[in-house]
A and B are shown apart, each in its own frame.
Chain A
Amino acid sequence: MLKAIIDNIKGLYSLLVGLSITGRFLLSPRQTVHYPRKVIEPENMASYRGPLELVPGDPDPAQSRCISCQMCVRACPGHCLTVTKGASGKSPEVWLYDFTLCCLCAACVESCPTGAIRFSHKVYLVADSREALHLDLLGQLKSSAKQTS
């Protein structure tokens, strides 16, 4: 009986300790980042793997390094890449990337012999339809080259 009473008094004390902890957190600053008004620092984003993008070529940033060897297409577990060779030379004519099927596993990036593919850091990519995520990477490369020049 006495033991039970002491137990209960100790228990009540533990409840007070819990209240003091949550009370302290009640007054401490928030931990969340309020998204549309604030974003997390770019240092954190730099290592984030977003959708794929083509690496700009060395002399001409609108030209891809890709040699249409189909290694990435064969390596991809989700079959999300379509690369078609152009009529002249090795450079590709079509470079389609279906982001809906991609699992960001880096199989294409690591199998590419020329290092033509890399991950972008686009975290805030949104789309309202499936088709909007079928990306034309060659077109993206050209438009981004136009923007920088």
Chain B
Amino acid sequence: MDRLNFINPFGVRYQPDMVSGDFYTKNFAKGAAENTIILNLGPQHPSTHGVLRVIVELDGEYVIRAEPVLGYLHRMHDKMGEVKTPWQFLPNMGRVDYLHPIAWNWAHVGAVEMLAGISVPERAEYLRVISCELNRISSHLVWWGAFVMDLGGVTPILYAFEEREKINDILQIVTGSRLTMSYFRFGGVCADADDRFLKLIEQFIPYLRKRLKMYKALVTDNVILRRRLENVGPMGLDICQRYGATGPILRAAGLAKDTRRDIPYGVYSKFAFPIPSGPTDDCYGRYLVRLREIETSLLIIEQAISSLPDGPIVIPKAPKPTFKLPAGESYFAVEGARGQVAVHLVSDGGKTPYRVKLRAPGFSNLSLFAEAARGTLLADAIAILGSLDLVIPEVDR
């Protein structure tokens, strides 16, 4: 279906006069057209996952326009980076994206290390990979549960949280916290893995594999879910590349692009792992890609655990909280659960960086929504919104 020029079941042809997603911001006084209503989904709405506001114009149940409105959770993280030393900015990274904080840790620490020319001990690199992948699994699990909840199934999210609690128990041993983890330090990590950590991971991997089979039987193969998702919200390569979508959305469109493989950082080049790229570019394809990524992460963790070297976990004379960055510029990108997470750091050699820019994948991914949701049913628009895996604090920063 040509979504820019569609005919509704009553034979009315709509030719929306815009492609950009800011129609209402520009034409606020215009109001609804004849036969349509303007509906505010959010900021307080059960399926906007936080405080995203979506203004939709509906003809019956068909979405004519959908415009995401941001800014309800803006906390000036980029600006905070300019008034704090890099070390002091580190705990902020756990707050940007509460579902995958360790990827953000890594992006910031990596940018600082790149600028200061710090190399990381090998054991620390392995621990970084293990914790980042565990965190990716927990992020995907929460997404899985919340997405099924968007579609009306309430139970799966509690099953997903069982696994997430187990991951939190594991990550708490090294990071000390369960949500806003701040594990990485410049030149290493802050705590070493003990026997309990490794033992729990070894127990967890077969357990999760067993549970993934249950997930498949309960949700993935369920006929109601399949009919809700198949052929809904196709996001082809073209739209993904126009808006700069990364992560599972881009991979579901058929392009096996992953920062872990394209710009290898850490010790990812030592592991063999497939990059799942989806069979279809609809919601179901994105769903499958994320579930396959959980298996990929398990593979990486297995390899990393089996070849975990001994040695120090942080370089001697690691930077202290009052550490000053040398003048220069660096950009470090890692693969987060939602796509490419990157930190751009500019320093003039002073106590605090001159400029910090956080590249949040959620922001780019959300931009696809206005175009993809046009011409769909309201329930489909909710499914598309859920399939983008939005974390609003990350979108607004």
Contacts and interface: CB of A to CB of B under 8 A. Distances in A.
Given A17-B221, A49-B176, A31 B162 contact: yes
A76 B84 CA distance: 10
Interface stretch (B35-43, B85-93, B295-303): B85-93
A104 interface: yes
Contacts of A25: 159
Given A21-B218, A49-B176, A75 B162 contact: no
B222 A18 contact: yes
A11 interface: yes
Contacts of B190: 106, 110
Interface in A106-128: 106-107, 110-111, 119
A17 B217 contact: yes
A21 B185 CA distance: 43
A15 B84 contact: no
A115 to B, nearest CB: 14
Interface in B270-302: none
B322 A75 contact: yes
Interface in A1-52: 8, 10-12, 14-15, 17-18, 21-22, 25, 31, 43-44, 47-49
B158 to A, nearest CB: 9
A67 B169 CA distance: 35
A43 to B, nearest CB: 8
A145 interface: no
Given A22-B155, A75-B320, A106 B222 contact: no
Contacts of A107: 87-88, 91, 321
A131 to B, nearest CB: 24
B88 A75 contact: yes
A111 B320 contact: yes
A21 B88 contact: no
A15 B155 contact: no
Chain A: number of interface residues, binned into ranges: 20 to 34
**Prevailing SS type, chain A contact patch:** helix
B214 interface: yes
B224 interface: yes
A86 interface: no
Contacts of A31: 162
A101 to B, nearest CB: 12
Nearest to B227: A11
A47 B182 CA distance: 14
A57 interface: no
B172 A44 contact: yes
Given A49-B176, A74-B322, A103 B91 contact: yes
Given A21-B218, A48-B176, A105 B182 contact: yes
Contacts of B88: 75-77, 105, 107
B217 A77 contact: no
Interface in A61-80: 71, 74-77
Interface in B314-349: 320-322
Interface of A: 8, 10-12, 14-15, 17-18, 21-22, 25, 31, 43-44, 47-49, 71, 74-77, 103-107, 110-111, 119
Interface of B: 84, 87-92, 155, 159, 162, 169, 172-174, 176-178, 180, 182, 185, 190, 196, 214, 217-219, 221-224, 226-227, 320-322
10 contacts: A14-B221, A21-B214, A21-B217, A47-B172, A47-B173, A48-B172, A71-B322, A75-B87, A107-B87, A110-B190
